[in-house]
Amino acid sequence: MDFSQVTYQLLEGFGTTVLLFVLTLVLALPLGLLVAFGSMSKFKPLRWLTRTVVWIIRGTPLMLQVIVVFYVPGLLFGVNLGTRMTAVLVAFVINYACYFSEIYRGGIESISKGQYEAGQVLGMTKSQIFFKIVLFQVIKRITAPISNEVITLVKDTSLARVIAVGELILASQDIVATYGIIYPLFYSGVFYLLFCGLLTIMFNFIEKKLAYYH
Instruction: Point out which residues bind other proteins (CB under 8 A).
Output: 112, 114-115, 117-118, 120-126, 128, 132-133, 136-137, 140, 212-214
Q: How many CB atoms lie within 10 A of CB 74?
A: 12
Nearer of residues 117 and 207 to other proteins, judged by Cβ = 117
Q: How far is the CB of 33 from other proteins (least distance, A)?
A: 19
CB-wise, 63 or 135, nearer to other proteins?
A: 135
Q: Which is nearer to other proteins, 41 or 158 (CB)?
A: 41
What is d(CA 185, CA 170) in angstroms, rounded to the nearest whole number?
A: 10
Shortest spacing between CB 48 and other proteins, in angstroms = 25
Distance CA 19, CA 24 (A): 8
Shortest CB 104 distance to other proteins, Å: 18
CB of 140 to other proteins, least distance (A): 8
Torsion sign over Cα 55, 56, 59, 62: negative
* 193/211 with CB nearer other proteins: 211
Q: Hey, what long-range contacts does 140-146 have (CB within 8 A, 24 or more apart)?
A: 140/210, 141/107, 141/110, 142/103, 142/104, 142/106, 142/107, 143/203, 143/206, 143/207, 143/210, 144/203, 144/207, 145/103, 145/106, 146/100, 146/103
Residue 127 or 178 having the CB closest to other proteins: 127
Handedness of CA 128, 47, 81, 88 (dihedral sign): positive
Minimal distance in Å, beta carbon 203 to other proteins?
A: 19
